[in-house]
Chain A
């Protein structure tokens, strides 16, 4: 028996050796005999009726397999929530890059020319590209009113607060689309045989989402659809839903051709056609007492869903629930709305609506501080949620979280006060301006409200013939360390060495549906189930008298082997059971939104160059409470990586739209941070103890995406004395703001 705890130790990443030696098999590394290559013919216009399709001269069309909507055996949709998105457009297109036809050929090199040679004649229809156009109903492009989903969260009597208010602060904040930019482009291989059905291998997050989509599309029973995850080179939400589309396309080509078909997107296609973070607009109106206490407020949160509903309703939900931040609101009304435009559908990206609404909340807090005449620190301290108080959905905080203490520690770690004083003294004598900004926030772990109840995840642990353990989950590894941490949990549960546990490849033929790998749920929800399934193995061995209560790793191995010899396959299952005291009202959007929250305070110090208007992040402190840290190295890696994406979201990453199409769909002109663009990101954890997840762990993956943007923009606003309310905040935006500020400013010529 291993006496040391494996929990809290940075054990080697399960698949690490294959990754550093280049042996890991990603989907494009896989080759099947007689495999064809597939490509997608897409809409060139944002909206219109398809009138005619002609196949141009100069291409040996008889060598190509061609698939249109007519070839779909089942329902022409990508089954997800609303089933409104077609797999292939047949009569109308609703956004640029919408798939219309599929081509396959044995020679990969011949495909681009063939795609070019397909001419599609359209009858164009008027299209809309902004949330405002959508709200004005200048054109109805989806349903009866362009609205995918609305939510209303109400607490207290917000209409009564305004007359009592000493201050009323209003603001409008916007965030742009953001590309996930996993370095491995999307890709799938499909193979079909009448007897076995369809099999797809690919780069993906959610095997059972694809499984469901292929059953509906191909009109096949569950047992004739198999989805296998290959090593996946980054996802960040970007491989949550769109892989179902690519799997569907590969499957249709494989069914028609009778041969395996591989579809690999190149970077331009991936960026132009697949989902991005929803652009958002948040309006705040807040009533405050004379000492800066929040009396109540209204928040309007609107996101641009693009042309089809896809996941927008769920993104909207998380954004709305997080819109009030980590503060106590005695009275609040949050109205949330996802609207349709003729852009490709926006989708999941780390944070899932929360980075958008929290950017607004945390920028707004700095505005409130200014209006009330308090410091950004003090305004937050006075309004923090405390245990026993309730959130905007009236969820009572039961965790022993101490946000003022978290804030103090973050200020100390970032040397906040002395830096702030120094900057104030030095700024006017320099050709650059320095500022320091903070953001306090929370992130709910797991599916929202009754989501986990509906998912009803199942996890298996297998005692193998060689005496080792194998974890059976559809939860996927795409860099975060799923395999490593779930192995740690199983090993700890049975007090076995970490090396004695492995995780099965996520293959729907082999693993149960442990739910999608999203929503910071894997360690907290799935991990807990792994723990209990592992304990089931032990209990079986003990009750069959093969093992004593107290055992060594060697004794366990022998007992396990004996069991398999006698009884055959040895598996233990565990299904999610919702805690009895959890209440959630889907109608009123009230109750326990999340089983647990992670809490954080981030501090950014920046320099704005007054010649180039570029912003450099000089120091970044990320302090968070995520429950027990199971694997310090991986946890730190998650935080640094998330902060880096947050810095990109704030300062670099701008999707340039033209009539619903992304114009800068290349790494050359869509800029993500390189190693020289980032400061050392300093990561700290506070562990308060929590009972929810496996060994007290809560969710961690999405949290670090929420804080960087407001902390950085607060710092830039402070440095320049100009309020910035939109991201991405590029040098040209700063230059324009300063120019207009100067033209309206007095003759002193000072900035701020």
Chain B
């Protein structure tokens, strides 16, 4: 019975993910996180806490940094979504992905996709942030491995290289 009533509640929702138009059938209140991971198989977006504290599920929604565990999928109707899978250009890593590698910004890797999206958002808003502004900009994304220093250094380096590029 439960299954049937759930079937009826499903609706068609369309949005753009990493440049590609997608249409899914989902419960309107389903978390965007689950739709991305389970239906679209974009498993680079991670769940850490399920309550918007850790930022592991961060994606860009119309250019805004959001916790996809807090977004009902209906809210994404018509939106332009970027997940970690859409950050690199084919085999060419994004500058931030490159500097994360070079500076030890990724250890266990579970917070890394969200952290890179948060950093992308930060540099979009503020191309030359101070170290303090980087810490502030990433403060919604928790990392338990690195103690953040090497992440902050990776973002600062990306900003520096972008400025001279």
Contacts and interface: CB of A to CB of B under 8 A. Distances in A.
Given A21-B88, A640-B150, A672-B142, A234 B108 contact: yes
A634 interface: yes
Interface string A646-666: 000000000000000000001
B107 A183 contact: no
A17 B88 CA distance: 11
A29 B113 CA distance: 14
B46 A233 contact: yes
B93 interface: yes
B111 interface: yes
Nearest to A180: B144
B146 A183 contact: no
Contacts of A644: 146-148
A681 to B, nearest CB: 6
Contacts of B87: 21-22
Nearest to B108: A479
Interface in A564-608: none
Contacts of B56: 183
Contact of B93 (A21, A668, A675, A680): A21
B27 to A, nearest CB: 9
A124 B111 CA distance: 42
A156 interface: no
A175 interface: no
B159 interface: no
Contacts, number: 169
A681 B47 contact: no
Interface in A207-238: 231-236
Contacts of A667: 48-49, 51, 53-54, 142
A22 B146 contact: no
A267 B93 contact: no
Contacts of A232: 108
Interface in A79-126: 107, 109-110
A8 to B, nearest CB: 15
A266 B140 CA distance: 19
B165 to A, nearest CB: 19
Nearest to B87: A21
Contact of B106 (A10, A13, A107, A645): A13
Given A26-B46, A183-B54, A479 B107 contact: yes
A21 B144 contact: no
B149 A681 contact: yes
Interface in B135-163: 135-136, 138-152
Interface string A170-207: 00000000001111110000000000000000000000
Contact of A233 (B100, B109, B140): B109
A12 interface: yes
B101 A672 contact: no
Centre residue among B43, B54, B85, B152 by max chain A CB count within 10 A = B43
Interface residues of B, number: 58
Contact of A675 (B54, B110, B152): B152
B94 to A, nearest CB: 8
B101 A643 contact: no
Interface residues of A, number: 60
Contacts of A15: 109
B68 interface: no
Contacts of A637: 104, 107, 145-146, 150
A645 B143 CA distance: 10
Nearest to A679: B149
Contacts of A643: 147
Given A21-B85, A681-B149, A633 B103 contact: yes
Nearest to B100: A20
A678 B148 contact: yes
A244 interface: no
A641 B139 contact: no
B44 interface: yes
Contact of B149 (A28, A233, A640, A676): A640
A23 interface: yes
Contacts of B124: none
A506 to B, nearest CB: 15
Interface in B60-100: 83-85, 87-88, 93, 97, 100
B5 interface: no
A57 interface: no
Centre residue among A20, A24, A233, A667 by max chain B CB count within 10 A = A20
Contacts of A18: 109
A107 B48 CA distance: 21
Nearest to A683: B149
B2 A110 contact: yes
A22 B145 contact: no
Centre residue among B49, B109, B113 by max chain A CB count within 10 A = B109
Given A21-B88, A676-B139, A479 B109 contact: yes
Interface in A439-479: 478-479
A672 B150 contact: no
A641 B112 contact: no
Centre residue among A18, A110, A181, A667 by max chain B CB count within 10 A = A667
A668 B97 contact: no
A636 interface: yes
A641 B48 contact: no
A280 interface: no
A496 to B, nearest CB: 22
Contacts of A668: 49, 51, 53
Given A17-B101, A645-B144, A183 B84 contact: no
A60 interface: yes
Nearest to A16: B101
A181 B142 CA distance: 10
B148 A675 contact: yes
A269 to B, nearest CB: 11
B49 A267 contact: yes
Nearest to A231: B109
B37 to A, nearest CB: 8
A21 B142 contact: no
A282 interface: no
A41 to B, nearest CB: 19
B129 interface: no
Given A12-B101, A20-B100, A236-B144, A184 B135 contact: no
A640 B83 CA distance: 28
A674 interface: yes
A633 B2 CA distance: 53
Contact of A183 (B88, B104, B110, B151): B110
Contacts of B150: 633, 636-637, 640
A26 B147 contact: no
Contacts of A12: 101
A183 B108 contact: yes
A22 B47 contact: no
Interface string A612-640: 00000000000000000000011011001
12 contacts: A17-B101, A21-B88, A22-B85, A60-B1, A110-B2, A184-B108, A233-B46, A666-B51, A675-B138, A676-B136, A678-B147, A678-B149
Interface of B: 1-3, 6, 37, 42-51, 53-54, 56, 83-85, 87-88, 93, 97, 100-101, 103-113, 116, 131, 134-136, 138-152
Closest 8 CB pairs of A and B: A22-B44, A233-B110, A479-B108, A644-B147, A19-B109, A22-B84, A479-B107, A667-B53
Given A109-B6, A479-B108, 12 more contacts: A13-B104, A17-B101, A183-B56, A267-B51, A479-B145, A481-B107, A637-B146, A640-B146, A644-B148, A668-B51, A678-B147, A680-B149
